[in-house]
Amino acid sequence: MKAAKTKKRLFEGGLHVWMEKLFDIVTLNLIWLLCSLPLVTAGAAATAFYYAMVKVIRGERGHLWGEFWRSFKLNFVKATLIWICFAALVFLLLVNRNITADIGGYFGAFLLCFYTAAAMVFLAVLMYAFPVLSRFHMTIPEAIKLSTYMCFRYLHCTLALLVIVTAAAALSYFIPLFIFLVPAGALFCFSKIMEPLLIRHTPGAADANGQWYLDPAPGAGKK
C-alpha cells in the first residue's frame, strides 16, 4: 500500500510534471523556429524565446504563446535592428578573415586571429543583448552598453555560454532533426547561467527571490 502511494506521488509530482515541461520546451522550440524563418525576425524571436523560457517554463507563470508573442511584439524593432547590425558586422569580419587566410606570413596570421577574435566578441555581445532586451526597458545604445559590460565583466560565464551555444549549433547542423529540441534544451541550460547575472542588474529582484516578473516596481525598468 505504501509502495502504491509512492508510485502515484512519483507520477503526479515527478514524471508527469517533467513530461509536461518537455512538451512545453518542444512547443517553444517550434514557435521560435517558425518565427525565426524570415531571418530578419531572428533577433525578436531570440528575445521572446529567452523571455518565455525563463518566465513560463522555468518560472511557471503565464501562457507560453501569450508571453512569447508579448515579448516578440514589444522588442521587435530594437531586437531586429541589433540583430541586423551585429549580423552584418560578423559577416564582414568573417569575409575579411577568409580573404586574409591566403596572405600567409606573420601579418596574415595576425589578421586571421584579429578578425576571428573580433567576430567572437561581437557574437558574445549579441548573446547577451537579447536576454537584456527581454528583461529591461532600454534604448538600443543602453542595451548594447550593458551587454558589452556583462560580456567582459563575467568573462568566465561568457565562455561557458559560448560553449553551450556552439555545441547546440554544431549538434543541430550535423544532426538536423535535433534542431526541433536541442536549441530549447540549450537555452534552458543557458538561462541557468544568464539569469543570476541579469538578476544582479535588476532592481528589486532580490526582494522577489529572483522572480523579476512578479509585481515590477514602477520605473524599475523591468518587464
pLDDT at 33 over 90: yes
Report d(CA 201, CA 38) in Å as an integer.
32
Quick one: angle between helices 76-100 and 105-135, nearest 10?
A: 170
Q: What secondary structure letter does DSSP report for 178?
A: G
pLDDT at 209: 59
Query: Domain residues of the chain, as ranges?
Result: 13-202
SS3 state at 7: helix
- Closest by CA to 129, choosing from 150, 154, 115, is 150
Spacing of C-alpha 178 from chain mean position = 18
Q: Where are the beta strands (DSSP E) in the chain?
A: none
Q: Are 212 and 202 in contact (CB under 8 A)?
A: yes
Q: What is the pLDDT of residues 66-117, one digit of tens each?
A: 999 999 999 999 999 999 999 999 999 888 888 877 777 777 788 888 888 9
pLDDT at 36 over 70: yes
- The per-residue DSSP string of 60-97 comes to --S-HHHHHHHHHHHTHHHHHHHHHHHHHHHHHHHHHH
Give the rounded percent of residues in the chain with a pLDDT score beyond 90: 64
Q: What is the pLDDT of residues 156-182, one digit of tens each?
A: 999 999 999 999 999 999 999 999 999
pLDDT at 162: 95
**pTM here?**
0.84
Helix and strand element counts for the chain (H, E): 9, 0
Task: Please state the rounded mean pLDDT for residues 12-41.
Answer: 87
Q: 96 is written with which cell numbers?
A: 575579411
Question: What phi, psi does 24 have (nearest 5°)?
Answer: -65, -40
Q: Are 134 and 47 in contact (CB under 8 A)?
A: yes
Q: Are 212 and 51 in contact (CB under 8 A)?
A: no
Q: 109 is written with which cell numbers?
A: 596570421
Q: Which residues pair with 222 in a beta bridge?
A: 136
